[in-house]
Amino acid sequence: MARKDGILKSFLNHELLTTKYELQDSDIPGTVREALNSDKPIIKAIALIVEGLDGTSPITDAVLRQQVTQLLNEAI
């Protein structure tokens, strides 16, 4: 398991997220790549953050914030 996959899992398994967004074990993807293709906006947003900060080519905070904001605005 890649480091970023472990980071993603630790976020998605947090009690606050599983309770608030009613995430089931079957909803939680095994890799960041799978999470980026998720139909659940919260999973995809967290995957974008993890990929952006721990990926092979990290991006700036401003660009990452813009990507996450755009994703969440489109999901509404």
pTM here?
0.88
Is there a contact between 43 and 35 (Cβ–Cβ < 8 Å)?
yes
Torsional class of 66: left (φ above 0), alpha (ψ -120 to 50), beta (otherwise)? alpha
State the pLDDT at residue 63.
Answer: 92
SS3 28: coil
Q: pLDDT by residue (tens digit) across 39-71?
A: 999 999 999 999 998 877 778 899 999 999 999
Q: pLDDT by residue (tens digit) across 13-32?
A: 999 999 999 988 899 999 99
State the pLDDT at residue 67.
Answer: 93
State the Cα–Cα distance between residues 58 and 47, nearest whole angstrom.
13
Q: Report the Cα 48 to chain-centroid distance in Å.
A: 5
Mean pLDDT of 28-38: 94
